[in-house]
């Protein structure tokens, strides 16, 4: 597929992550995890909010508020004044971990993955917050990623980047909780590829950022590899759909782990991009507290 990547924001993130298109505001938000920042843009220019510690993913609550995953909690965040209120603690008893990848589900819940701050093997998990309850669903994850949902709500996907595996799990129609055990969906081990963040389009294709490969690559509902979209940054971290008709693919990238020579060779590494593809995405679901 022919795709044209353009720079949306030229601030170089150390670890850009978690892009979220707020459909009510028509505005993209994303994070620099290592710098503890939430980033955005409006007609007046770039915006940023400092959290004083890692923040990684968000869902939208209403016109003026986001649910933000910090290293220790889920927070209700005011876009207007930058204030936060704790919603629920997240692995607060284990200082070794932090949040990583997350996304709202079709039932108003919010899935959030955790990982060790030093990517310690098996220290992370996949959690779901739904109508006041935070429940750990899957444990033994090293680097949680690729949380995404089928357009018909039939299943979810998630990955462990360290294991180079993406799983698919069926969801209960009534409330969205897992309806069985996760099943292997895409094994990227033989290809030596590292799945990072992901999003599903309106046709059910899973678009996966491949860390180190400089791409977002599509995998059909059958798990077979489809198109590869190249970006001018080796470490592509997460895609999200937004814009008019959800026809724009956004992508965060990272500088983390790139030496001086790699940064010189890739001067746009860490920037945030738009990718014109002709694809049609889904609207981001609202989180219901």
Active-site positions read 196
Beta-strand relationship, 183-187 and 37-42? unpaired
Cβ contacts of 35 within 8 Å, gap of 6 or more? 13, 14, 15
Kindly provide the residue ranges of all beta strands, DSSP E only, lying in 93-179, ordered along the sequence: 97-104, 110-116, 124-130, 133-141, 144-149, 155-160, 165-170
φ/ψ (deg, to 5) at 86? -70, 135
* 86 close to 69: Cβ distance less than 8 angstroms: no
Q: What is the DSSP letter of 15?
A: B
DSSP annotation of 284 reads P
Kindly tell me the burial class for residue 272, based on how many C-beta atoms sit within 10 Å of its own C-beta (0-12, 13-18, 19 or more). buried
Place of tokens 């980047």: 161
**Closest by Cα among 104, 152, 95 to 128:** 104
Please state whether beta strands 16-22 and 27-32 pair in parallel, antiparallel, or not at all (unpaired): antiparallel
Phi, psi of 61 (to 5 degrees): -100, -45
């Amino acid at each position: 597929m022919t795709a044209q990547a353009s720079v949306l924001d030229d601030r170089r993130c150390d670890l850009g992550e978690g892009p979220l298109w707020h459909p009510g505001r028509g505005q993209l938000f994303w994070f620099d995890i290592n710098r503890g920042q939430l980033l955005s843009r409006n007609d007046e220019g770039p915006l940023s909010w400092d959290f004083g510690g890692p923040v990684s993913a968000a869902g939208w609550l209403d016109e003026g508020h986001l649910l933000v995953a910090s290293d220790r909690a889920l927070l209700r965040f005011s876009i207007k004044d930058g204030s936060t209120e704790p919603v629920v603690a997240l692995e607060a008893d284990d200082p070794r971990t932090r949040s990583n990848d997350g996304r709202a589900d079709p039932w108003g819940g919010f899935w959030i993955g955790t990982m060790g701050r030093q990517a310690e093997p098996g220290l992370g998990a996949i959690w779901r917050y739904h109508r006041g309850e935070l429940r750990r669903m899957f444990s033994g994850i090293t680097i949680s990623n690729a949380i995404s949902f089928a357009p018909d709500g039939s299943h979810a996907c998630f990955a462990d980047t360290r294991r180079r595996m993406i799983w698919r799990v069926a969801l209960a129609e009534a409330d969205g909780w897992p309806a069985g055990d996760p099943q292997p969906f895409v094994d990227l081990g033989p290809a030596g590829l590292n799945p990072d963040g992901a999003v599903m389009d309106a046709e059910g294709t899973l678009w996966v950022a491949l860390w180190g490969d400089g791409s977002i690559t599509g995998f059909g509902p059958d798990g077979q590899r489809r198109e590869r979209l190249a970006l001018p940054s080796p470490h592509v971290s997460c895609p999200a759909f937004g814009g008019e008709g959800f026809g724009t693919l956004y992508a965060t990238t990272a500088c983390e782990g790139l030496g001086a020579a790699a940064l010189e060779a890739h001067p746009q590494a860490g920037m945030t991009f738009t990718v014109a593809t002709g694809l049609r995405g889904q609207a981001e679901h609202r989180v219901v507290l």
